[in-house]
Amino acid sequence: MVEALKRNGKIDRKGPVVLVIMDGVGFGKYKEGDAVAAAMTKHLDGLYAKYPWTRLKAHGLAVGLPSDADMGNSEVGHNAMGCGRVFHQGAALVSESIASGRMFQGRTWTNLVENVRKTGGTLHFIGLLSDGNVHSHIDHLKAMIQQAKKDGVRKVRVHALLDGRDVGEMSALDYFDPFAEFLASLSDDTFDAKIASGGGRMVITMDRYNANWEMVHKGWQTHVLGEGRQFPNAHDAIVTLREETGAIDQDLPPFVIAENGKPIGTIEDGDSVILFNFRGDRALEITKAFEADELSEFDRVRHPKVEYAGMMEYDGDLHVPHQYLVDPPSIDRTMAEYLCASGVRQFSISETQKFGHVTYFFNGNKTGKFDEKLEEYVEIPSDIVPFEQRPWMKCAEIADRVIQEVESGKWDFIKLNFPNGDMVGHTGVFEAVVCSMEAMDLQIGRIWEAVSKAGGIMVVTADHGNADDMFEHGKDGSVKLRADGEPKSKTSHSLNPVPCIICDDAYAGEYSKELREGLGISSIATTCITLLGFEPPADYDPSVVTLN
């Protein structure tokens, strides 16, 4: 429990403070490929021209990642905004645990290794095979496989998902080929390690927020049952499926590696399974498929009795999974908890793709509300279609509901997430991203009209960049080209700063219009608390607003 916040005695508005999070929208470094700059954004342009704004850091050390070479992501971004401080995040925690040896000394690792040594079973690894460092890192996987051999495990199978979002859209072979050689170099008379199955991360296994359980079903069929199109190795599978489908890595169909017509890596009774992704949102559903006694979402056909573990605890409230290798960051005293203790009425909304971000991640990786009487969460169901086909997504429906709630006068603080810049940005389709920005801009204009009329304040920001950097560039800044002469699409996040605009038509000189510079997005919590008329917790990172 936390104590109620004290009033700052400076700011008192008739209307609510509304936090608008433009997911994946930053300030581009290059003109070419900046879909945010290329879009016609009349309303945002007007806000920049009329109201004070600044740039915030949203990657690397500013959001708890190992280095400033690491791109930010929606999860760590919402953690930082929601808790007002910077915590070491998944990638750093896993790396530290491996380097220190703590992972391999822990009870979970021991359980999984001893299980397969006792049963003669296989140790399976499922996860994203890249160095994107957003969901996973290939170096973590390599370290675990090397340790498994040292610990006497005799058989390892890797179920490797293609990335193409946090790394180059067609970079899979840059990871799969060297990794296959790595496994071959370890294999001998006492140790057998191979890739057993795979598929694009947006096709199998890695669904989130219960948006499309059929993805998990396909993953189960591929990894567990060994059902699917067979290939002699992952290289041939990737090359063949690319040629046949024209799909980029994240959208590649599933495949199964087989020898003599038999899958080499089905998951059986007595095996051990490690989901080596460290991020929680896209790990919860496949975890449920392994751990639930009964599953209504799809027919598992068979439910092997295995020792299952995740890289981390993916849900701290539900304690999922039952076993995990690395303790997650302990995030406490979030903004929402403080606001509830202070009697602040709060409304949170997004569509399915980012609903968990303005709730679960914003609340420090906690499921549920801090106060049922003071909080309301609304999820607008996302369309289950490729995002480039509906680049506007559900931004109009989100805006409709936000405007309704602003006009109702029921809430002191409203937060919302527009997923467009991130989800459409990951498709790599430049024209669709431009469309998504223009659609979002229209809705921001509508929301601001309602907030201004209600006498409130609107804070516009973002969790990381993406739509601002849609082409791959060389070291000299030139655009990389495909074989057909078209720009090479970039589907990953950017390292670019993001905006923070303070829109306040009732401004009466309570704070300086010269906003602080050089801060990270963790400053959003203190900024909102200050604009709500409260003094922030002493250990929260500074606000962009300085009271007069």
Q: Render each residue's pLDDT in the chain as its tens digit; 548 residues.
A: 899 999 999 999 999 999 999 999 999 999 999 999 999 999 999 999 999 999 999 998 999 887 787 788 898 899 999 999 999 877 889 999 999 999 999 999 999 999 999 999 999 999 999 999 989 999 999 999 999 999 999 999 999 999 999 999 999 999 999 999 999 999 999 999 999 999 999 999 999 878 899 999 999 999 999 999 999 999 999 999 999 999 999 999 999 999 999 999 999 999 999 999 998 879 999 999 999 999 999 999 999 999 999 999 887 557 789 999 998 778 899 999 999 999 999 999 999 999 999 999 999 988 899 999 999 999 999 999 999 999 999 999 999 999 999 999 999 999 999 999 999 999 999 999 999 999 999 999 999 999 999 999 999 999 999 999 999 998 899 999 998 999 999 988 899 999 999 999 999 999 999 999 999 999 999 999 999 999 999 999 999 999 99
Long-range contacts of range 507-510, CB-CB < 8 Å, 24 or more positions apart? 509/548, 510/10, 510/11, 510/547, 510/548
Check whether residue 335 and residue 484 sit in a common domain.
yes
Residue pair 491/164 in contact (Cβ under 8 Å)? The answer is yes
Give the residue numbers annotated as catalytic, written as ranges. 74
Max CA pair span of the chain? 78
- 538: in domain: no
Check whether residue 154 and residue 200 sit in a common domain.
yes
CA-based Rg of the chain, rounded to a whole angstrom?
Answer: 24
Check whether residue 338 and residue 420 sit in a common domain.
yes
Which CATH number goes with the domain that contains 398? Answer: 3.40.720.10
User: The whole model's pTM is what?
Assistant: 0.74
Check whether residue 97 and residue 84 sit in a common domain.
no
> Which of these three, 299, 326, 353, is where a domain ends?
326
Residue pair 26/36 in contact (Cβ under 8 Å)? The answer is yes
| Kind and range of the H or E run holding 201 | none
Residue pair 191/152 in contact (Cβ under 8 Å)? The answer is no
Check whether residue 353 and residue 299 sit in a common domain.
no
Residue pair 469/168 in contact (Cβ under 8 Å)? The answer is no
Cα dihedral across residues 313, 315, 317, 322: positive or negative: negative
Residue 252 main-chain phi, psi, to 5 deg = -70, 140
Q: What is the DSSP-derived secondary structure letter of residue 391?
A: T
Residue pair 470/33 in contact (Cβ under 8 Å)? The answer is yes
3-state secondary structure 346-386: EEEEEEHHHHCHHHHHCCCCCCCCCCCCCEEEEEECCCCCC
> Which of these three, 295, 326, 357, is where a domain ends?
326
- 547: in domain: no
Check whether residue 360 and residue 322 sit in a common domain.
no
pLDDT of residue 91: 85
- 7: in domain: no
- 546: in domain: no
pLDDT of residue 89: 79
pLDDT (tens digit, 9 = 90+) per residue, 63-78? 988 778 778 889 889 9
Check whether residue 74 and residue 104 sit in a common domain.
no
pLDDT of residue 316: 59
User: Which range marks the domain in which residue 138 is found?
Assistant: 91-326
Check whether residue 301 and residue 174 sit in a common domain.
yes
| Kind and range of the H or E run holding 53 | strand 53-56
- 346: in domain: yes
- Nearest alpha-carbon partner for 325 in 301, 340, 309, 337: 309
- 215: in domain: yes
pLDDT of residue 365: 86
Cα dihedral across residues 362, 364, 367, 370: positive or negative: negative
- 448: in domain: yes
pLDDT of residue 317: 53
Check whether residue 210 and residue 359 sit in a common domain.
no
> Which of these three, 274, 303, 326, is where a domain ends?
326
Q: For strands 457-461 and 17-22, give the pairing.
A: parallel
pLDDT of residue 68: 84
* Alpha-carbon span 356 to 115, nearest angstrom: 35
Check whether residue 419 and residue 465 sit in a common domain.
yes
Q: What is the tally of structural domains in the chain?
A: 2
Which CATH number goes with the domain that contains 168? Answer: 3.40.1450.10
Check whether residue 289 and residue 385 sit in a common domain.
no
- 548: in domain: no
Check whether residue 382 and residue 514 sit in a common domain.
yes
